[in-house]
Amino acid sequence: MKEPFVQKANLYLTIPEWEVLDHRLVVGFSTRNGGHSHAPYDTLNFGLHVGDRDTHVMNNRKELGKELNIGMDDWVLGEQVHQAVIQNVSEADKGSGVYSLDTSIANVDGLYTRSPNVLLASVFADCVPVYFFAPKHGLIGIAHAGWKGTVATITAKMIECWVEDELIPVSDIYVVIGPAISKEAYEVDERIITKIDEQLASDERRPYKRTNHGTFQLDLKECNKRQLLKAGIKEEQIQISSYCTATEKELFFSHRREGGKKTGRMIGFIALKNDE
């Protein structure tokens, strides 16, 4: 499968195939390079909650906003509590979570909007970023899917919101699963595997592999793809990034790679600009 993400600048990767679907689209996933933060957050950290200086994070966000030509006042971020709550946002929500964690949209891990010039954003350091786009309807979304959000079916719930609440035909929805920790790098215990198994049919191929030392290598990207397929998304309208945040040290931060020690966060983002 072709890699959907292409590095457009030092600061971020983008999805060229989606940009062709609508020239107004701004979409991407940041690298760890080109920013203002010092070690261990060097250098392009977007997380306000990891111990980095707020001034460094603000400078990084300002730098990306300048590159995208979308100012920080137009961004919206959710609290990201590793659950599966989806929120429809609008211009009224601009600025949420940008300058302070306290102003984030509470208890939300998934965001979507029809409003132009609203940049939806979430931060990541191994969890799965899932991007949603219905180009015929001007609808965009992003979800933060760690193992808890995946077990809570956040990806399927986004599709459900679009189909039931926004009346979008499922055949019009495109999805990209972004850079995240790979199956080979993500070992989990049986407690998590039991929760994954609860989602699967008895005859369904397991998205994990047992190791020789009693743990399991879990493919979170594949888990989210299966939710999409079960929700009715056409396989040809689902793309999956091969980038692994844990193994590509020069490009990405990784919570798992650092063994829980302090590290930075990448940012996933999507917006539709006004057609000016």
Are 244 and 230 in contact, with CB atoms under 8 Å apart? no
What is the pLDDT averaged over residues 201-205? Answer: 91
| Per-residue pLDDT at 148 | 97
How far apart are the C-alpha atoms of 97 and 93, rounded to whole Å?
10
At 8 the pLDDT is 86
Rounded Cα distance between 257 and 245, Å, is 9
Neighbours of 262 (CB within 10 A): 13
Q: Return the percentage of the chain with pLDDT > 90, whole number.
A: 95
* Closest C-alpha among 262, 214, 223 to residue 41: 262
> Domains, the chain, ranges and CATH?
6-182+237-272 (3.60.140.10)
pLDDT digits (tens, 9 = 90+) for 25-53: 999 999 999 999 999 999 999 999 999 99
pLDDT band at 207 (very low <50, low <70, confident <90, very high): very high
Q: How far apart are CA 209 and CA 183, in angstroms?
A: 9
C-alpha–C-alpha distance, residues 236 and 36, integer Å: 39
Q: Where are the alpha helices (DSSP H) in 129-273?
A: 147-151, 154-160, 190-197, 220-230
- Write the pLDDT tens digit of every residue in 156-189: 999 999 999 999 999 999 999 999 999 999 999 9
pLDDT in tens, 243-266: 999 999 999 999 999 998 999 999
User: What local confidence, expressed as pLDDT, does residue 260 receive?
Assistant: 85
Contact 5, 252 (CB under 8 A): no
Per-residue confidence at 275, pLDDT binned at 50, 70, 90?
A: confident
pLDDT score of 1: 73
How long is the chain?
A: 276
pLDDT digits (tens, 9 = 90+) for 108-157: 999 999 999 999 999 999 999 999 999 999 999 999 999 999 999 999 99
One-character DSSP codes across 93-111: GTTTTTS-GGGSBTT-SEE
- Name every residue whose Cβ is closer than 8 Å to that of residue 247 and which is 6 or more positions away in sequence: 182, 184, 185, 257
pLDDT of residue 276: 59
Phi-psi region of 84 (alpha: psi -120 to 50; beta: other; left: phi over 0): alpha
Reported pTM? 0.97
